[in-house]
Amino acid sequence: MSIRAIHRAGSQDLLIDLDSLDAVLALNAALEASPLPGQRDLLAAAQTVLLKFDSRHSAERAMEALPGLAVACAVRTAGKLVEVPVHYDGEDLAAVAELTGLSVEAVVNAHTSQTWRAVFGGFAPGFAYLLGENQELNVPRRDTPRTKVPAGAVALAGEYSAVYPRQSPGGWQLIGHTDLHMWDLQRENPALIRPQDTVQFVPATQRLSLNQPAEALDEPSGQAHSGGLKIIDAGLQSLLQDAGRIGYGNLGVGVAGAADPTAFRQANRLVGNRMDQAVIENLGSRITVEACGDQVLAHAGAQAQLWITPAEDDQVRTTRQVASNAPFALLHGERLSVEPGGQGLRSYLAVRGDITLKPVLGSLSTDTLSGVGPDPLVSGTVIPVQQPSVGHIVGNPQPSTLPVPDDRGVYQLRVLPGPRTEWFGPCGLKQLAKQLWDVTSESNRVGIRLSTGDQPLQRVLTGELASEGVARGSLQVPPSGLPVLFLADHPVTGGYPVIATVISEDLSAAAQLPPGSKIQFVLQPPAALTAK
């Protein structure tokens, strides 16, 4: 195995460049069998392995250990054959024909006449990168990725083909669709196609009628609880979020979790919970809940006004206001209404105790990109809560965790260069930091799409970047030159170069910036090691 370079991908992740796909698979197998100290997850791609660590210190130690790591050759294991019927009606089918110099019929024939090997997963749960037998259908990605690619879309990019398992953003060329489900949590192996499987695409003769499998969470049978919270009005978007799910990168499953980790932890701390327990994340600070049994709550994150309305049969109490960033009681039948009150985008509402729902892949987080986790909360949803054991102490009121803009009204986010700064050169990095960037309305938990009144970023390298793992906080730059800042639900892989990565300490601030906010990126000293 030959490591070409090791790059810092943000504060705690490393991107390892290797000289071949076999080297990638060998290193991936070795690190799955014997993880490095502090290693939390890994993700193999075409020419790289992305490693995630629990701290900056663990990442630094790994940078020193990796060049001397002894790795055996990759052993190819035989997978199953998966036949995928395809309706060749994709929006980009004619464009692929033009790019390859083939007729539309010849494109379909080239796609179905060869077998495709699943070499690695990524991007989304159930998304497998399929390597063909020849280069006949090697086409570039779209200059500007689509914001919505439908589930079942069959696509091409570079030397790979793939099937999108659910609706998601994407920049691949769409040539058709299939009615098969690529990802189903009800199956023993949720992914229909796994690494080392062989795929044969065949023209579909008729449309299949399949129901999308349900992925909603159920309360564990026999689990006693002492009341909870009933959602009266969920507002724009209300989700359950915890610290996220770790260790499923090679299945294409992202971490998800709270978009603003600082406010999330503060809300839990205020009610005396563990720092990783699930809370309600609300977009826009407008939500109403009702207490089922007496509860202790805390609100953190975006500025808001909190009003408690007494129960209908309560003739004594009157409507009262309570403070954010402090614990308060919500008695049985009382309703808490959260209303927007100023800065910030996302609110966090923690309830004292354990939310007794069944985790999916070890977490109660809702991943809006992949669909893994509980459904978004709606009116009438009841969240069951088990009260904690004696000894859990509520916290004292704390200051707001919201970011503060500078005198110009601009929010500063610190970034580390890379891992793909060479695609933009020194001038590109200077431009990134010099000019102001605007948060657009096309932003969500997946990422913040940026625009600028100045010049978009320009590449100094041409060609296509092979798909590779991307870290939370990555500033990925499509050919349009307008970066996308990846947040909690970002795809686990991407095919556009990352010019810089927001440090972990500033990701909470990024998650609280509404459309129209202005950002200036502040470069930090580079931290990269080239393996000799």
Q: How far apart are CA 377 and CA 54, in angstroms?
A: 30
Whole-angstrom Cα distance, residue 415 to residue 107? 43
Provide the H-helix boundaries in 408-447.
Answer: 425-434
Residue 322: enclosing H or E segment and its boundaries? strand 320-322
Q: How far apart are CA 352 and CA 368, in angstroms?
A: 25
Residue 148 pLDDT > 70: yes
Between the alpha carbon of residue 37 and those of residues 31, 62, 245, 417, the distances in Å are 11, 8, 19, 25
Q: What is the DSSP letter of 101?
A: T
d(CA 74, CA 24): 8
| Strand residue runs (E) in 19-71 | 39-44, 48-53
Answer yes or no: are the C-beta atoms of 257 and 472 closer than 8 Å: no
pLDDT band at 22 (very low <50, low <70, confident <90, very high): confident
- What DSSP state is assigned to residue 68? G
pLDDT over 70, % of the chain: 93
Residue identified by tokens 């999108």 is: 164
Q: Please report, for the chain, how many H helices and E strands are present, in that order.
A: 7, 34
Does the structure show a pLDDT above 90 at 196? no
User: Strands 228-233, 493-494: parallel, antiparallel or unpaired by DSSP?
Assistant: unpaired
Rounded to whole angstroms, the Cα distance separating 133 from 110 reads: 10
- Say whether pLDDT at 144 is over 90: no
Report the pLDDT value the prediction gives residue 392, as an integer from 0 to 100.
Answer: 77
Token pair listed for 175: 């040539």
Query: Which of 59-63, 184-188, 358-362 is predicted with the least confidence, judged by mean pLDDT?
Result: 184-188
Classify residue 122 as left (phi > 0), alpha (psi -120 to 50) or beta: left
Specify the pLDDT at position 75: 54
Evaluate whether 27 touches 35 at the Cβ level (below 8 Å).
no
Task: Identify which of 355, 373, 344, 374 has the alpha carbon closest to the alpha carbon of residue 263.
Answer: 344
The pair phi, psi for residue 5, each rounded to 5°, is -165, 155
Tens digit of each residue's pLDDT (9 = 90 or more) over 149-190: 999 999 999 999 999 998 888 889 999 999 999 999 888 888
SS3 176: strand
Give the integer Cα–Cα distance in Å for 485 and 472: 8
Give yes or no for residue 7 having a pLDDT over 50.
yes
What is the per-residue pLDDT for 317?
Answer: 83
pLDDT band at residue 315 under the 50/70/90 scheme: confident
Q: How far apart are CA 159 and CA 133, in angstroms?
A: 9
Check residue 158 and give left, alpha or beta (phi > 0: left; psi -120 to 50: alpha): left
**Residues 351/295, Cβ–Cβ less than 8 Å:** yes
Assign 390 a pLDDT band (cuts: 50, 70, 90): low
Parallel, antiparallel or unpaired: strands 198-203 and 81-86: parallel
The CA-to-CA distance between both ends of the chain, in Å, stands at: 13
Q: How far is CA 104 from CA 108, 201, 396, 521, in A?
A: 6, 16, 67, 45
Residue 344 in contact with residue 314, Cβ under 8 Å? no
Type of residue numbered 48: T
- Contact at 8 Å (CB) between 155 and 175? yes
Give CA 364 to chain center in angstroms.
14
Residue 212 has a pLDDT of 42
Going by pLDDT thresholds of 50, 70 and 90, the confidence category of residue 528 is very low
User: What are the residues whose beta carbons fall under 8 Å from the beta carbon of 240, sequence distance 6 or more?
Assistant: 278, 279, 280, 281, 355, 357, 364, 365, 366, 373, 374, 377, 383
Q: Residue 78's pLDDT is what?
A: 61
Between the alpha carbon of residue 344 and those of residues 103, 196, 285, 389, the distances in Å are 52, 45, 9, 34
- pLDDT > 70? residue 76: no
Q: How confident is the model at residue 370 (pLDDT cuts 50, 70, 90)?
A: confident
User: What pLDDT, on the 0 to 100 scale, is given for residue 21?
Assistant: 87
Q: In what order do the strands lie in the sheet with 228-233?
A: 320-322, 304-309, 335-340, 287-292, 228-233, 382-386, 354-355
pLDDT band at 29 (very low <50, low <70, confident <90, very high): confident
How many Å apart are CA 61 and CA 57, to the nearest integer? 6
pLDDT of residue 2: 79
Do residues 252 and 126 touch, judged by C-beta distance below 8 A?
A: yes
Average of per-residue pLDDT values in the chain: 91
Instruction: pLDDT band for 214, please (50, 70, 90 cuts).
Output: very low
pLDDT tens digits along 317-343? 899 999 999 999 999 999 999 999 989
**Residue partners of 151: CB distance under 8 A and separation at least 6:** 164, 165, 166, 167, 212
pLDDT of 209 strictly over 90? no
Encoding tokens for residue 430? Answer: 């200077």
Query: Is the separation of the CB atoms in 41 and 53 below 8 Å?
Result: no
As a whole number of angstroms, the distance between CA 350 and CA 322 comes to 15
Residue 428 · residue 417 · CB < 8 Å: no
Amino acid at 323: A
180 φ, ψ (degrees, to nearest 5) = -75, 150
| More reliable by pLDDT, 229 or 393 | 229
Alpha helices in 379-503 (DSSP H): 425-434
Report helix, strand or coil for 24: helix
Q: Cβ-count burial of 389 within 10 angstroms (0-12 exposed, 13-18 middle, 19+ buried)?
A: exposed
